[in-house]
Each structure stands twice: as C-alpha cells, then as structure tokens.
Amino acid sequence: MSLKPSSPPASLSRRGLISAAIGLPLAGGLLSACGSKTASDKIRFGHSAAAVGASAAMDAGVFARHGLEVEFIQITSGPAAVAATVGGALDFTFGDFLGWAAALCNGFKAELVAPANDTGNLVFVGRRGLTYRSPADLVGKRVGVSPAPMFSLSTRLWLTQQGVDPDRVNLVLVGPGAENALKRGDIDALLTFDPVSYRAVSQLGGRVLAGDPTTAVMPKGASRACYYANADYLAAKPDVVERMAAALREGAVLFHKASKQDKARILAPYLGQTVDQMDKALPGLVEAFVHTPAQLTGFDLAANQTWVDTAAREGALPRDIDISPYVYRTAATPAVIA
C-alpha cells in the first residue's frame, strides 16, 4: 500500500492534548472530492474509510433510495472535518467525537445526528528491535498517535491504568505514513489500525505490543466517532437530516452483515486500491483485516457526557460542556438488524 511518509512528529504533553483537539488548519489536500457531481441539492459529506456505515450505504445505493444525492469528500483529520462542517464547507461529516466536543467548547456549533463507531480496532505496534515486556517499557519512548484527541487521551488513561506515569512517555502527533516513521526509528511505537498495523507487522518488522486502549478506558456505551450536520443546514432542511440519519443506520447494518471480502470491496475505493491490488500489496490483508465496526446502538447521552467530562478533567478539552443541546433527536435511534 502506498502511503506518504509522515513529517517529523511533534511532541505532545498533557497541555498539548488541547491542540490535538482544536485549531487544525484546513490546508490544501485535507479535503478531496470523490465522485463529484453538479446537482444543486448535492449533500457534501466529509468521509474517511473509517466511516464504514456511510461507505456501505453508498455502495448499496441506500442514499439514492432515501432521495439523497451524496458527494463524498475525503478527509484526513476528524477534528478539521468538524471545523469544515461548522464553517459550511461541508453539510455533513464523519468525525472524532471529542473533536466535535472541542468545537462546541470553542463556540462552534454542529449537530450530532448519528453515532458511527463505538468499538475500535486499534493496537500498539512497536518498531523492530524494541524491547517490550509491559507498558512500563514505554517510559522514555516516543509513541505516535493521531491528532484526533481520542487517541492521545485514551493512551494517557491506559498508561495510568497500567501503573505508568503518562508524562514519562513521549506522545507525538503523527499523520499518514506513520508506519514509515516507525520503520526509520523516528518513533518507537505507534497506536494505529489496519491496514497500517498489518503493514507495519507483515512488511516493516514491527510487532503488536498491546490491544486497543479505548476499550479499556472509555465509558461503556460511549462513541468513538459520530456523524454531524451543519447547524444551519439542519435548521433549513430537517427532513434531509432525518433521511440521511436513516440511510446511515441502514448502512451500518449492511456493513455489520457483510463478509470480509465484501467489507474489503466496500472500503477499497477509499483506500486507493482495488481488492486485488490490496491483497497483492499486502498479501493476506483482506482475510486478516480487522475492520472498524459500525455502531448499531443509539447514541448514549449519559455515557458520552461522562467521556466529555473525563476529557475536560484530563486536559483533552479546553473546558467541560453539556453536549445535550447539540445532539439531534435522530442520534438516539438504533440501527435495526432484520
């Protein structure tokens, strides 16, 4: 799989968690159109491969059946995609839940219309030659994490849970191609997911050190990522939002039911390769791929408020905030498996 090399990682302290949640610029290349059309009523949707329910809905023609014409605009940062939605560059987006909460803290409004993911597929991968017997061996090491605040916060809480002072582990922000930084030795470990983790282990000499920290530290029922609508768009077109939320729930069910081969086919266009190309570049990936699950339950307001409270207390948000006024009624509706 061809991935761009990452830039030199930037240090991330406890105070630096906030900068991971807000203020990310919408630089050139952050958003790129996929399947552009010219219809005036087109819905501009910030999409990434982790938005598995939306991907399945597009693949099966669910949006069209709901009377929607959706343009996927590929995003590389969940917090920045939320910022683009707040600013009106997007009508809807997929994005990190805490990135959305950070936007609310800073006075920017977007409505949460549906949950996207409530369980993860993250792993810590160590570089070739790293001595690792327990989390204590990460003291003094450089651990790469995504700019999305969930990654940094979960890692710090997990380290604390494991008896390790998180301030003694150097968390650094990394972007696309971070596995190459791992190979070069710029970082000692990386919190990531497939296909990056698969490549790091199968081709770059890395090894899995530990499983998903979010599973260990997040409140039961909390969402890792959700779907959001521009507040003005929702006020003007609530019927469209209702249909969009219904289509996303239907897509979540479709992805949940899909075989591994079909999941790979659904996501392949957004990974830049066909299934055959994917399997040729990384033999065995299609069968071994641990996909991000789609959330089938409705949005749990109490669990997610607790997660926001924790993030604020730990410095991952600039302040605490009541999220309930910004959660639209569609969010609580679960996806139904027929």
**Residue 166 sits in a domain of what CATH number?**
3.40.190.10
Q: What is the mean pLDDT of each run of 10 residues along the chain (338 residues)?
A: 32 39 35 40 88 96 95 81 88 94 92 91 94 97 92 96 97 91 96 90 94 93 96 95 96 95 91 82 83 92 98 95 98 86
**125 and 14 in one domain?**
yes
Compute the distance between CA of residue 54 and CA of residue 272 in angstroms, rounded to an integer.
17
Helix H or strand E segment including 64: helix 62-65
Which residue in 241, 172, 234, 214 sits closest to 307, CA to CA?
A: 214
Write down which residue in 170, 194, 217 finishes a domain: 217
Query: Which residue bears the tokens 């994005």?
Result: 95
Return the SS3 of 70. strand
**273 and 132 in one domain?**
no
Write down which residue in 174, 201, 217 finishes a domain: 217
Q: Is residue 322 part of a domain?
A: no
Q: Is residue 169 part of a domain?
A: yes
Q: Is residue 326 part of a domain?
A: no
Which residue in 84, 63, 70, 75 sits closest to 42, CA to CA?
A: 70
Q: Is residue 184 part of a domain?
A: yes
**173 and 61 in one domain?**
no
Q: How many domains does the chain have?
A: 2
**61 and 84 in one domain?**
yes
**228 and 155 in one domain?**
no
**246 and 193 in one domain?**
no
**291 and 205 in one domain?**
no
Q: Is residue 335 part of a domain?
A: no
**271 and 202 in one domain?**
no
Which residue in 330, 273, 321 sits closest to 298, CA to CA?
A: 330
**107 and 42 in one domain?**
yes
**132 and 14 in one domain?**
yes
**309 and 231 in one domain?**
yes
Q: Is residue 321 part of a domain?
A: no
Sequential DSSP letters for 215-265:
HHHSPTT--SEEEEEEHHHHHH-HHHHHHHHHHHHHHHHHHHHS-HHHHHH
Q: Is residue 26 part of a domain?
A: no
Q: Which domain holds residue 52?
A: 31-119+223-316
Q: Is residue 95 part of a domain?
A: yes
Burial environment of residue 219 by CB neighbours within 10 A (0 to 12, 13 to 18, 19 or more): middle
Write down which residue in 188, 217, 246 finishes a domain: 217
Residue 18: both structure tokens together: 């906030």
Amino acid 36: pLDDT = 36
**125 and 212 in one domain?**
yes
